[in-house]
Amino acid sequence: MALRTLATRKTLGALSTFPQQLRGLQTFTLPDLAYDYGALEPAISGDIMQLHHQKHHQTYITNYNKALEQLDDAIAKGDASTAVKLQSAIKFNGGGHVNHSIFWKNLAPTKEGGGDPPHGSLGWAIDQSYGSVEKLIAKMNAEGAAVQGSGWVWLAVDKELKRLVVETTANQDPLVTKGPSLVPLIGIDVWEHAYYLQYKNVRPDYLKNIWKVINWKYASEIYEKECP
């Protein structure tokens, strides 16, 4: 095992396209979407998808990587106060990367199942906890609309209690900040950049329409993994 790791490191070291491995620090790159920017129309415009992915998410990644490098440096030097000072940038930008990576998987074009309601155990659990998918959606939309400023609304499963939970987070706080055993199933970005060009100030319209492209299949997979 150790020999194999050594061999890998050497090989990678020879390829100078992996500078991050040379430093021993894992940095991040923008994940691709599984669909074209325009594929979620008319629920979410192609313009928004492109800006959201190529600019906003990319910026979180760029700044997260920068903060990680600075943190790595501070830790190596034993500079505790710098390490602590970097935490808000890490939480914000790292959270932004984590949250958006989930978000892209939460969405799918209608012709690939986006908007198709959940079946199987997740559908059953929703009916048990909320009465129906429609009632769950209404609850999530109400909570999403009520988020003051920027944030996210989530459907989650508590992996300890095996229970569905609706939660909101502020800014780019990841869901775990609301509970360490919460696993995100669906996250909806309610930052203004997620909808403003298309829906302007009318966040409730965005929330009503996004359900047409929500990828319940992905949510079900995650749920079934946590609650087999």
Partner 1 sequence: MVMASVTTLASHLTSTFTYAPEFCRLSQSSHSSQRPCTRKSVSGTISASIDLKPPPYALDALEPHMSKETLEYHWGKHHRGYVNNLNKQIEGTELDKMSLESIILASHNKGDILPAFNNAAQVWNHEFFWESMKPGGGGKPSGELLELINRDFGSFEALIQEFKLAATTQFGSGWAWLVYDIEDKKLVVLKSSNAINPLVLGSYPLLTLDVWEHAYYLDFKNLRPDYISTFLDKLVSWDAVSSRLEAAKASIEGK
State the nearest-atom distance from the C-beta of 55 to partner 1, in Å: 4
Distance CA 145, CA 148 (A): 8
State the nearest-atom distance from the C-beta of 19 to partner 1, in Å: 27
CB atoms within 10 A of CB 213: 22
State the nearest-atom distance from the C-beta of 189 to partner 1, in Å: 12
State the nearest-atom distance from the C-beta of 105 to partner 1, in Å: 22
Residue among 112 and 192 whose Cβ is closer to partner 1: 192
Footprint of partner 1 (CB under 8 A): 51, 55-56, 59, 88, 92, 148-151, 170-172, 191-193, 196-197, 200-201
Residue among 20 and 45 whose Cβ is closer to partner 1: 45
Residue among 119 and 193 whose Cβ is closer to partner 1: 193
Residue among 56 and 163 whose Cβ is closer to partner 1: 56
What is the 8-class DSSP label of residue 110? G
State the nearest-atom distance from the C-beta of 5 to partner 1, in Å: 38
State the nearest-atom distance from the C-beta of 44 to partner 1, in Å: 15
Q: In a 3-state reduction of DSSP, which class is residue 153?
A: strand
Residue among 5 and 201 whose Cβ is closer to partner 1: 201
Cis peptide before 42 (omega within 30 of 0): yes
Opening angle at CA 69, ends 181 and 188, nearest 5:
40
Residue among 38 and 113 whose Cβ is closer to partner 1: 38
Instruction: Find the helix or strand (DSSP H, E) in which 97 lies.
Output: helix 87-106
Judging by DSSP bridges, how do beta strands 151-158 and 182-189 pair with one another?
antiparallel
CA atoms within 13 A on the CB side of 207: 26
CA atoms within 13 A on the CB side of 183: 17
